[in-house]
Amino acid sequence: DADVTQTPRNRITKTGKRIMLECSQTKGHDRMYWYRQDPGLGLRLIYYSFDVKDINKGEISDGYSVSRQAQAKFSLSLESAIPNQTALYFCATSDLKIRDGNTGELFFGEGSRLTVL
């Protein structure tokens, strides 16, 4: 089983609908992130959370909201989806504890492809 799981993997919806993308992790990491990937733009940070009580906006947070329900769960919501939110969304986790010898890398889920018609 994947360490970082995203649901749904694919979703087609209509303009104006509310959509929630869910992410859960079994890595025990405190830090969780939502990124959006668009062709030619790389990955851009939407929101991030360093612990359950900490939520921060990334560079493209407008039109999105998040909820950190538990250490292991971080959900992304589009309150009223619009076509330019059509993209591939990635949840990721990281462990700050560099002192423990970890690489500090981001661990990604498999992605959620969202299409807004």
Partner 1 sequence: AQKVTQAQTEISVVEKEDVTLDCVYETRDTTYYLFWYKQPPSGELVFLIRRNSFDEQNEISGRYSWNFQKSTSSFNFTITASQVVDSAVYFCALSVMTTDSWGKFQFGAGTQVVVTP
Residues at the interface with partner 1 (CB under 8 A): 31, 33, 35, 40-45, 48, 50, 58, 88, 90, 94, 96, 103-108, 110-111, 113
Contact (CB, 8 A) for 59 and 44:
yes
CA dist., res. 105 & res. 15, Å (int): 35
Smallest distance from the beta carbon of 78 to partner 1, in angstroms?
20
Smallest distance from the beta carbon of 94 to partner 1, in angstroms?
5
Smallest distance from the beta carbon of 54 to partner 1, in angstroms?
10
Contact (CB, 8 A) for 106 and 1:
no
